[in-house]
């Protein structure tokens, strides 16, 4: 119970919004912007796993619930498909060039990805240093 109490006291001290599921030994922390961190604790009070999860609508994966790293793979595939479609529109009878829109979208998605990743990793380091 020592490590669980350290973590719970830390979360209470800094006013994190969290839920503790005692029967599953799981702490779910809401980090804001639909980013949640799951802290799984074993029976001998050691942290087994700290994972992140994007839920609901967010800047990276939209409505899909996934981890940050999986959402970046999803974004890369979607951007590749969008690039191919936009490049194919260059060969149509209309002379439109939409690649600047793709560059803007790539920039925005990278900024969101970096924001979520930094927020998650900083929280993970705080918890690991605490225990």
| pLDDT score recorded for residue 43 | 80
3-state helix, strand, coil in the chain (%, to 5): 50, 25, 25
pLDDT digits 0-9 by tens, 10-23: 999 999 999 999 89
| pLDDT score recorded for residue 86 | 79
Residue 127 has pLDDT above 90, yes or no: yes
pLDDT digits 0-9 by tens, 60-112: 887 889 999 999 898 889 889 988 887 787 777 776 677 788 889 889 989 99
Q: How many residues does the chain have?
A: 131
| pLDDT score recorded for residue 1 | 63
Given pLDDT bands bounded at 50, 70 and 90, which one contains residue 8? very high
Residue 21 is given by DSSP the state: E
| pLDDT score recorded for residue 2 | 78
Given pLDDT bands bounded at 50, 70 and 90, which one contains residue 28? very high
Spacing of C-alpha 124 from chain mean position: 12
- Render 47-89 in DSSP notation, one character per residue: EEEEEEEE-SSBTTTBT--B-HHHHHHHHHHHHHHHHHHHHHG
């Amino acid at each position: 119970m020592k490590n669980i109490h350290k973590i719970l006291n830390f979360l209470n001290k800094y006013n994190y919004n969290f839920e503790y599921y005692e029967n599953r030994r799981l702490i779910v922390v809401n980090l804001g912007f639909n980013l949640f961190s799951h802290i799984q604790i074993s029976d001998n009070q050691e942290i087994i796993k700290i994972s992140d999860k994007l839920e609901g609508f967010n800047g990276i994966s939209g409505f899909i619930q996934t981890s940050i790293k999986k959402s970046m793979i999803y974004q890369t595939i979607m951007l590749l498909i969008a690039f191919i479609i936009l490049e194919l529109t260059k060969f149509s009878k209309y002379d439109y060039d939409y690649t600047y829109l793709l560059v803007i979208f790539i920039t925005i998605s990278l900024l969101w990805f970096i924001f979520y990743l930094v927020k998650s990793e900083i929280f993970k380091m705080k918890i690991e240093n605490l225990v």
